Amino acid sequence: MSILGATAGELVKRLDRGDVTSIDVTTAYLEAIAAADGKVNAFLHVNRDKALEQARAIDEKRRRGQCVGALGGLPVAIKDVICTQGEPTTCGSRMLERFVPPYDAHVISRLREADAVLIGRTNMDEFAMGSSTENSAYKTTSNPWDLTRTPGGSSGGSAAAVAACMAPLALGSDTGGSIRQPAGFCGVVGMKPTYGRVSRYGLVAYASSLDQIGPFANDVGGAALLLETIAGHDHRDSTSVAAAVPEYSRTVEEPLTGLRIGIAKEHFVSGLDQQVEAAIRNALEVYRSLGAEIKEVSLPHSKYAVAVYYIVAPSEASSNLARYDGVHYGHRAAHFDNMIDMYCASRAEGFGAEVKRRIMLGTYALSAGYYDAYYLKALKVRRLIRNDFDAAFREVDVIASPVAPTPAFKIGELVNDPLAMYLSDIYTISANLAGLPGISIPAGFSQTNLPIGLQLLAPPFEEERLLRAARMFERETDWHRRRPASAPG
Q: Catalytic pick from 22, 142, 178, 401?
A: 178
**Which pLDDT tens digit goes with each residue over 264-281?**
999 998 889 999 999 999
**Which pLDDT tens digit goes with each residue over 128-157?**
999 999 999 999 999 999 999 999 999 999
441 confidence band (pLDDT: 50, 70, 90) = very high
**Which pLDDT tens digit goes with each residue over 215-258?**
999 999 999 999 999 999 999 999 999 999 999 999 999 999 99
Task: Enter the pTM of the model.
Answer: 0.97
Mean pLDDT of the chain: 96
Listed range (102-111, 189-198, 254-263, 367-376) with the worst mean pLDDT? 367-376
303 carries an active-site annotation: no
Q: Catalytic pick from 22, 93, 109, 154?
A: 154
Contact between 77 and 167 (Cβ < 8 Å): yes
pLDDT of residue 65: 94
Average confidence (pLDDT) over 152-168 = 98
Q: 3.40.50.620, 3.30.1360.200, 3.40.50.1000, 3.90.1300.10: which CATH number matches 8-258+470-481?
A: 3.90.1300.10
Per residue, the 3-state secondary structure of 4-37, as one string, reads: CCCCHHHHHHHHHHCCCCHHHHHHHHHHHHHHHH
**Over 80: is that where the pLDDT of 488 sits?**
no
Q: What angle do CA 170, 239, 243 make, to 5 degrees?
A: 80
Average confidence (pLDDT) over 157-181 = 98
pLDDT of residue 489: 60
pLDDT of residue 464: 98
**Which pLDDT tens digit goes with each residue over 320-349?**
999 999 998 899 999 999 999 999 999 999
**Over 70: is that where the pLDDT of 393 sits?**
yes
Nearest to 178 by CA among 361, 403, 445: 403
Within 10 angstroms of residue 368's Cβ, the number of other Cβ atoms is 5
Rg of the chain over all Cα atoms, to the nearest angstrom: 21
Eight-state DSSP code of residue 146: B
Q: Which residues pair with 264 in a beta bridge?
A: 297
Average confidence (pLDDT) over 74-98 = 97
**Which pLDDT tens digit goes with each residue over 472-481?**
999 999 999 9
pLDDT of residue 20: 97
Cβ-based neighbours of 287, under 8 Å, separated by 6 or more: 259, 261, 294, 400, 472, 473
178 carries an active-site annotation: yes
Q: Catalytic pick from 79, 430, 440, 486?
A: 79
